[in-house]
A and B are shown apart, each in its own frame.
Chain A
Amino acid sequence: MAGLMAGFGNFTHAVVRAIPESLAKEALRMNKFDVDLSKAQREHELYVEVLKNKLGLEVVELPADESLPDCVFVEDAAVVCGDTALITRPGAESRRKETEAMKKALSDLNLNIVEMTDESASLDGGDVLFTGREFFVGLSKRTNQRGAEILADAFKDYAVSTVPVLEGLHLKSFCSMGGPGLIVIGSSEHAQKALKIMQQMSDHRYDKLTVPDDIAANCVYMNLPSKGHVLLHCTPEEFPESAKVFEKLKDHMLIPVSNMEKVKVDGALTCCSVLINKKTNV
């Protein structure tokens, strides 16, 4: 019997979405970078490959939508925990429709769908850090208090704490989970500050893994039956120093995944998939 909060990192399914051509020019970004579309697409294919073939997840691939240049970043459209999926209301107006396809995909997976209908609420999945025991929701440009409240309502079992995101796009732009109870955090001042807040707000103890580069702190952790701890992280090419830090994780199956192009439009590793554990569904 799967208990409450059992099996952090256990995933069976992943939802991803292809990169539309409009991404290169129209996708939102904080800095002006030119994106090589084909490179980005290759990068993304590799990413999906890892999920599908290397890790054996069942991957649901949604088609790209040219009218939604940012649609590859599916993470922002939904927050899935257990068998409940919260369909978000992305903070960026242009991304609101991304949720439609996501909602359909998730309900096809028999998840309990909760929708964020409140007009005053906004929430990007990238601001939601689930640690296995609780949620931290970054209050950022994309996510507001009301959005966090709705998330708290959707996942009543868990504490939901808010963390101000002073710089960067999302909370997970500088942190993510690297394992059960392990928070990978960037070394910038605001990242460290956010970590402190999270630690103060939590009843649980977290270890931290500090990496020199904020964006490198975004990695994808899974705990898979056959593989154990799996970590998708930045490549040494992108962030050599940070990659070295990851390499110290001896117990993890480390999979460097390139994210060179997508990062230019503020996409991180976690952004590109919604991970689901169907087995934990009680």
Chain B
Amino acid sequence: MTTEVGSETEVKKEPEKAEQPPATATAPAPQEEPVSEAKPEAEPAAEPAAEPAAAEASAATDTPASEEQQTSESEQAKAEEKTDKKEKDKEGGGKGISRFLPPWLKRSKSQSQVGPKENAPKEGSVEAVKEEEEKEKDKKEDEAAEESKVDGEQPVQASTADQSQEQKEEVAEEAPPAEEAKADNKEEEKHSIGSADTQPAKEEKGEDSQEKDTEDAKPENGVEEGEEAKKEDEPTDKADTSILSPLRLTKKIKMVMCQVTMLDGSQFPCEVEKRAKGQYLFFKVCETLNLLEKDYFGLSFKDNTDQTCWLDPLKEMKRQIRNAPWNFSFNVKFYPPDPSQLTEDITRYLLCLQLRQDIASGRLPCSFVTHALLGSYTLQAELGDHDPDEHRTDYTSDFQFAPSQTREMEEKVVELHKSHRGMTPAQADTQFLENAKKLSMFGVDLHHAKDSEGVDIMLGVCANGLLIYKDRLRINRFAWPKILKISYKRSNFYIKIRPGETEQFESTVGFKLPNHRAAKRLWKVCVENHTFFRLMTPEQPTKAKFLTLGSKFRYSGRTQAQTRQASSLIDRPAPYFQRTSSKRISRSLDGAPVINVISDGSGPEGGKENGRDPALELSSDSKSKLRVQGENIYVRHSNLMLEDLDKTQDDVLKHQASISELKRSFMEATPEPRPSQWDKRLTASPATSLRLQAQGKSPPRMETFLPESKEVVKSADDKQKSQAVAAATAAQPVVEIEETVIVEEVRKTPKPAAASEVPEVQAMPSQEPQEAAKVAVEEKKPAREASISSDSESEEEAEYHPQITSVSVEQIKEEPEEEQEEAELNKQEPTPEPEPIAVAESEIAPAPVTVHPVVKDGTPNAKEEAQPVVEMVDDGIVEEEMMLTPDEAPNGYSASDVQGLGSLEEEEQEPRMNGDASHVETEHLPQVICCSEPPVVKTEMVTISDTFAAQKSEIATKEVPIVHTETKTITYEAAQLDGSGDGEPGVLMTAQTITSESLCTTTTTHITKTLKGGLSETRIEKRIVITGDSDIDHDQALAQAIKEAKEQHPDMSVTRVVVHKETELAEDED
């Protein structure tokens, strides 16, 4: 029965949604506190349902309403009875579904409901317990029933209606006693159940919503409903305050009205907090649509240059749209190459709508015949069988089948339409898609560019890779497996191509885009498409602001593999929706009541009041300006791209504050090293970890983990500390702005999985002497690293490494058959997810630490950057065992769904992975051997040629450029060849760089794993950039950083600490 709960919740939500829009519009508006009066006006609902509802709402108190209600109830009751079976069936799937529902939705609903007093009646009717309200609601629902989703509403109504049957059933089903208690209020019961279900399931919490969520969890169940009830009963501020108050207390909430253009052309007004992230709105929209397979979709907006951009779900909307209006468009972002594999018809329907748009706009070119054929399926889907009486000659004129539509085409469409007799809408959609998917430009996202010779070309990003067009001709194609690296720098876009069978070297192909933003946009689209279609799991989600190497951007959603897996869990009866993209009445061939998918009440424009807070905007503006300047600076000093340089005084102050906070946290921090993301990966079962790193991680370099940085800092050893301090001091002659601590830890780990290859632990001669050389090498690095850390928004360049030289399991095989993919997926499931957060705790061996303070001759400018580099060499062999908590795999779905929405701080500290919530604990066994490690392999731009890779076929090699600088390119091969003292060259197994930023430090962790002489060796190089001005106690910070680094990796030894100080260049300098 639990399942039922899920379905119910959904149901409820939907109706709520429908009514929400109007509510939301005014909700946040502080002005409209008086509740009841405004109702009708407030609800200029676009939806037919909404209007009646409003009317009824106003009349709700009247007795006649009750009568209606009763009748409606009775009707509904019948309907419910019918559906009962269905519901039961659903039960099984309910849970799965519930996961899809974001918990914060509830909150928002409650908010919106509460806020807009005028609307309150409506919403109240939906959720309210009171009979009057119920009556209203019933009326509404009855009316709306036809248009709204059947499943959901019916249950709701049932519950709202005093029909005890259902409630009892529900209660029984929903065993949890607590909930039952709540069940006293029938409505409440539902709510509570729903919320309870949904919340846990959905771990996605908007930043904003965190607080709310926590608060809401309770309020949702009890308070919310209760409040609502109160509200409606006693239209007072009470409800509002009660609901809103928590929010207000925690934050000032500025609400903004968003307009989302849906695929059917309707407008969906939605009120959001000004600081809400993209996903908030996105999930709102999906909820409204009753869309579960939402990973294929996204919200787009036009930036101020009229370019269409995707709204990053993990970032605040405000920061993305900048000064553009809050208008968004709901679109297909990833076109599933095989739409028949979509689970639900509604998803296919939405895809159809998108494709119709694409076709009508000319984005998806088709031949005449195809236009006609696709058009005929559209007619069949929307109008049903051709009816000679009803369908006169011009019944097609409402439709646009082609960019330019001729009479001849319409005739052809009609002719074909006649031939589809008997086809259900779903079948017609399927046929539509089966044909559309074959079109060569299906799902190809085109970008204007010029090739190296200045010739105009188009770059098309699609599921399979990158296509190059000149005019209409395809002149080249780079499948994802062919691409080793994707990067952009200013307005240039580069792809590094894997060498062919006969070629020795990779080649890099560059394209010139119109501007920097276009280059970045293209890069992002590539990263996203690659991840979505090619990887089994996304790379680690990056946290909000970090100083990172270039752009930290990564695709944060689920991959296609994941979404398919998730979709397979969908077990709800097919949601009903109306295929009236064009307001035609559908004849629901399925014989079920047709309910409108989209409730687009033209929301009251109350949102405007909530408009933007001028002050906020100003500040944001100023900030952005600063950013821009920063960018300029970056341009001038390509190596100095530290965001901090452009910080305002306030920012600096904040910085300092945060730094002190950080320090405090260090002090308080328990010695227990926090599992860092990469550590986890390292410790994951060898096989998995290898895969992981190889695949998902390929672009590790840009990943940032806040938690990590902190940990790193914390784990410094006293010894090291002192040394580091010394180093730092040495380096500190001038005022330092930034310090970089580079900690390189080399750890030799016999890998279990790799074990076959590395059965025994061998002692390796330490190569301390070589370190000097390393230091030298590193000297240069710091500077670059400094340059690397740029703000994500302003970064000029970024890289992404989609490929690993060796075959990684996680990566979807080239041209995989669908079945294969799934098979892989399944395969993977049992094994610990690669990304899963394995916590590797390494103990730092008491190995001698050498500190090589490197002081750069900085011009004694006011500011300098110091970059201590600490290298830790692990003396022993660490055996790692990893344990996976069982909760991860099966539920991957829920977790994945939730991914991005943790509260700010929580999020930061809890490593979240897309798709898995698993925690991996690693135990390190005592290390047996202390060996010297070969010189650090710097894999800045490690490119491994195919031939090379071939030699070590089994080993996943991955190269992770730490810093992308042209001058500094250290290839793995080189290191191998000359670096290792022992004759047997090590094999680079994995290398990754993780960058995280804490308040005052940026930690770049570069992990290089090599396999040498049967030993797996892990070298960790950490660069910690301590940013600050003279006010910061650099020594202290540095010491802390080193200490933490050491603590974090107790099994490793610090082999080198390099402190590098960088002097800030004057802005005008070049």
Contacts and interface: CB of A to CB of B under 8 A. Distances in A.
Interface of A: 1, 3-5, 82-84, 112, 133-134, 137, 145, 148-149, 152-153, 155-162, 200-203, 205, 281-282
B473 A83 contact: no
Given A4-B373, A145-B473, A202-B477, A157 B464 contact: no
Nearest to B502: A196
B484 to A, nearest CB: 15
B396 interface: no
Nearest to A159: B440
Given A5-B438, A203-B477, 17 more contacts: A1-B431, A3-B431, A4-B369, A4-B370, A112-B368, A137-B473, A152-B471, A157-B366, A157-B440, A159-B440, A160-B440, A161-B474, A162-B473, A162-B474, A200-B477, A201-B477, A282-B416
Main secondary structure of the interface of B (DSSP, over half): mixed
Interface of B: 365-370, 372-373, 412, 416, 419-420, 431, 434-435, 438-441, 462, 464, 470-477, 479, 482, 815
Contacts of B476: 200-201
A203 B365 contact: no
Q: Which of B470, B471, B815 has the most CB of A within 10 A?
A: B471
A161 B475 contact: yes
Contacts of B477: 161, 200-203
Contacts of A148: 473
Contacts of B479: 200
Contacts of A5: 438
A161 B440 CA distance: 11
A150 to B, nearest CB: 9
B473 A156 contact: no
Contacts, number: 82
A198 to B, nearest CB: 10
B33 to A, nearest CB: 58
B372 A282 contact: yes
11 contacts: A1-B416, A1-B419, A5-B438, A84-B367, A112-B368, A137-B473, A145-B471, A149-B471, A158-B440, A201-B476, A203-B464
Contacts of B471: 145, 149, 152
A156 B366 contact: yes
Nearest to B374: A4
B472 A149 contact: yes
A133 B472 contact: no
A203 B462 CA distance: 10
Contacts of B368: 84, 112
A122 to B, nearest CB: 15
A153 B439 contact: no
Nearest to B368: A112
Nearest to B476: A201
Nearest to B369: A282
B370 A157 contact: yes
A112 B408 CA distance: 12
Nearest to B817: A205
Given A1-B416, A4-B373, A203-B464, A159 B474 contact: yes
| Residue of B365, B416, B431 with highest tally of chain A CB at under 10 A | B365
* Smallest CB-CB A-B distances: 9 pairs: A159-B440, A152-B472, A156-B365, A161-B474, A4-B435, A201-B477, A157-B367, A156-B367, A149-B471
Contact of A161 (B420, B435, B464, B473): B473
Given A84-B367, A282-B372, A1 B439 contact: no
A12 to B, nearest CB: 16
B699 to A, nearest CB: 24
Nearest to B501: A196
B435 A160 contact: no
B762 to A, nearest CB: 44
| Most A C-beta atoms less than 10 A away, residue of B365, B366, B441, B474 | B474
A5 B367 CA distance: 12
Contacts of A201: 474, 476-477
Nearest to B416: A282
A133 B721 CA distance: 65
A84 B372 CA distance: 14
Nearest to B420: A1
Nearest to B337: A203
Nearest to A83: B369
Nearest to A112: B368
Nearest to A152: B472
A156 B366 CA distance: 5
A3 B373 contact: yes
Contacts of A158: 440
A148 B370 CA distance: 21
A155 B477 CA distance: 20
Contact of A3 (B435, B440, B462, B474): B435
Contacts of A133: 438
Contacts of B472: 149, 152-153, 160
A161 B472 CA distance: 9
A133 B435 CA distance: 12
Contacts of A159: 440-441, 474
A151 to B, nearest CB: 9
B474 A160 contact: yes
Contacts of B815: 205
Most buried by A among B366, B372, B477: B477
A4 B412 CA distance: 15
Contacts of B367: 82, 84, 155-157
Nearest to A200: B477
B363 to A, nearest CB: 12
Contacts of B372: 282
B464 A4 contact: no
A82 B370 CA distance: 10
A170 to B, nearest CB: 18
A162 B475 contact: yes
Contacts of A200: 476-477, 479, 482
Nearest to B419: A1
Contact of A82 (B369, B420, B473): B369
Contacts of A82: 367, 369
A157 to B, nearest CB: 5
A118 to B, nearest CB: 12
B409 to A, nearest CB: 12
Contacts of B434: 3
Contacts of A112: 368
Contacts of A161: 473-475, 477
A149 B133 CA distance: 65
Nearest to B475: A162
A133 B370 CA distance: 14
A282 B366 CA distance: 14
A231 B89 CA distance: 54
A244 B434 CA distance: 38
A148 B435 CA distance: 24
B1010 to A, nearest CB: 33
A114 to B, nearest CB: 10
Nearest to A203: B464
Interface centre among A162, A203, A282 (most CB of B within 10 A): A203
A156 B473 CA distance: 11
Given A157-B439, A159-B440, A282 B373 contact: yes
Contacts of B475: 161-162
B420 A4 contact: no
A282 B420 CA distance: 13
Given A1-B420, A161-B474, A200-B477, A134 B440 contact: yes
B453 to A, nearest CB: 14
A82 B435 CA distance: 14
Nearest to A3: B435
A235 B367 CA distance: 38
A157 B438 contact: yes
Contacts of A134: 440
Contacts of A203: 462, 464, 477
A268 to B, nearest CB: 24
A156 B370 CA distance: 9
Contacts of B440: 134, 157-160
Contact of B473 (A84, A149, A202): A149
A205 B876 CA distance: 49
